[in-house]
A and B are shown apart, each in its own frame.
Chain A
């Protein structure tokens, strides 16, 4: 058991900006607990095996510092839920409590 608590799930949900009900907190804490248990099997690997974040054996993939065309602004802003003065419009950032 990796002891994922309801509080842990509530914290994660807050970071991910997800609304989670009481019932879901119970359900997800059990599920995430099982997932973390499974993943923790990597802890059984001997220490002399280096961690692997990349599976493609490439290094130093860089591009030249050359300007390429950007997207037309009209096209980009047309895909936004709201735009104003050539900018993306987003709802108030800080909530009522801030």
Chain B
């Protein structure tokens, strides 16, 4: 904790009376490849410490890095989704620094020739408008290891006695996406920052190249903020805020830094170029280490890795395979399915949109597909304490259940039992139907026999029906349903009862 008392931050409205905010957002995304960027160690979250390490990611003498082809493909795909150009010849560079999170004492990154550059993302804003965020570049690099600081009061690096290192994450493929300076957003700067990171997350999720979990660190945002006095052109000194671990924190961190900068500048002070640490609890930032100057990293071309020259054909085939933008897809689905804004929002919030869409793709009518996921399956997920995507049933299986109901093999009640069976690991829907003997009894002769037996067992009721009291048929229908353990179509049984009593 610093002893310096900082003046109360200004609101963004007050800030923008005097200054224009300038932002630069750097987003790091861990790819979900099976292996690391430069070696075949597993890329897995949550493994036992130091179980996914080898000579390459430990930087042992003589180890030779080899590039993960799938990671290159993901990097190009991300670039194309962000309307970037793909560099015809791109290479890796060593970024030299001494810090125990990288056992090699350098990080393999890209420097002058990032794989993709010069793009943009049209970001949807809360009011329905869009804001174009220009993309400077996206480059490939490797993630660092994880440190655990022991001793001292807080578990932070300050005051720690020593540190423990887990290198499972060292070498995990990382894409760093860097915006050009975002200027002109004014009081909306914090909102634009959050909207951009949200849109980027949705795009990357749609590409299925990353888990994009900010809470697990597979997506991380560093927010650079500076202020320039209104009417001037030269950017002010910037700070880079790290440890921004949620979409909401992106907005809060930018807002706080804008206010803090204004407080310092308006009282005649100067902003120090430095890294700041965002505190989720208080919503404030505190000073970290002063930023090393750029040249101190002594980048030089990585001698162990030959350059990449992605072929035109490859790039174009990746471009052709790009999915729809998530928000455009949502708008299309809303129209096609006739959903209200609220229904759509509920689907998105329950992580059900993709599941429903996939169920529809597998042949189910939209209303039936949606109904299954938002009601019965949502209840099951809730009871089991898991999210909908974690439920042990696939959209294809749900679509099959819907089809079985549609063709009359299952009633809705039986269908729920089939779903229970699938969730319990009893196999595909058809296997559960035969395994549990759940199919509707639609064999007419079997049903007719059951009806005749029921009529014979209750001759007085049969007599009433024959006398025209059709309401009495309910008792016979009930008996037949009981005899068939609920697997008959009650409406058809009713018809048969009346037929047999003519």
Chain A residues close to B by CB (< 8 Å): 15-17, 53-54, 56, 58-71, 73, 76-77, 84-94, 98
Contact = CB atoms under 8 A, between A and B. Distances in A.
B50 A15 contact: no
Nearest to B97: A15
B303 A92 contact: no
By Cβ-Cβ distance, the 9 closest A-B pairs, closest first, are: A68-B40, A53-B301, A62-B69, A65-B70, A87-B164, A58-B306, A88-B165, A86-B49, A63-B66
B68 interface: yes
Contact of A92 (B34, B51, B160, B307): B160
B206 to A, nearest CB: 20
A46 B332 CA distance: 57
B6 interface: no
A94 B98 CA distance: 12
Interface in B1-56: 33-35, 39-42, 48-55
A70 B301 contact: no
Nearest to A82: B162
A59 B308 contact: yes
A54 B301 contact: yes
Contacts of A56: 306
Given A68-B41, A77-B50, A88-B50, A61 B34 contact: no
B66 A60 contact: no
Given A53-B91, A88-B50, A90-B163, A70 B42 contact: yes
A93 B55 contact: no
A7 to B, nearest CB: 14
12 contacts: A64-B69, A65-B69, A71-B54, A73-B48, A73-B49, A86-B48, A87-B49, A90-B165, A92-B161, A93-B100, A93-B149, A94-B158
B71 interface: yes
A17 B105 CA distance: 11
B152 to A, nearest CB: 9
B170 to A, nearest CB: 11
B294 interface: no
A69 to B, nearest CB: 8
A58 B64 CA distance: 15
B473 to A, nearest CB: 65
Contacts of A65: 33-35, 68-71
B166 interface: yes
A22 B158 CA distance: 31
Nearest to A53: B301
A78 B38 CA distance: 24
A86 B167 CA distance: 11
B99 A93 contact: yes
Given A54-B306, A59-B307, A68-B39, A87 B289 contact: no
A70 B41 contact: yes
B110 to A, nearest CB: 12
Given A61-B67, A67-B42, A87 B306 contact: no
Q: Residue among A56, A58, A62 with the most chain B CB within 10 A?
A: A62
A57 B217 CA distance: 38
B35 A87 contact: no
A67 B161 contact: no
B171 to A, nearest CB: 11
Contacts of A54: 91, 301, 303, 306-307
Given A54-B307, A63-B66, A70 B161 contact: no
Contacts of B307: 54, 59
Contacts of A91: 162
A3 to B, nearest CB: 16
B164 A88 contact: yes
A87 B124 CA distance: 44
B309 interface: yes
Interface in B75-121: 89, 91, 96, 98-100, 103
A58 B308 CA distance: 9
B464 interface: no
A90 B105 CA distance: 14
A17 B26 CA distance: 29
Nearest to A86: B49
Contacts of A17: 98
A92 B91 CA distance: 35
Most chain A beta carbons < 10 A, residue from B39, B41, B50, B147: B50
B66 A71 contact: no
A62 B54 contact: no
B205 interface: no
A62 B308 CA distance: 9
Contacts of A87: 49-50, 148, 164-166
B272 interface: no
B306 A85 contact: no
Contacts of A59: 89, 306-309
A85 B49 contact: yes
Contacts of B164: 84-85, 87-90
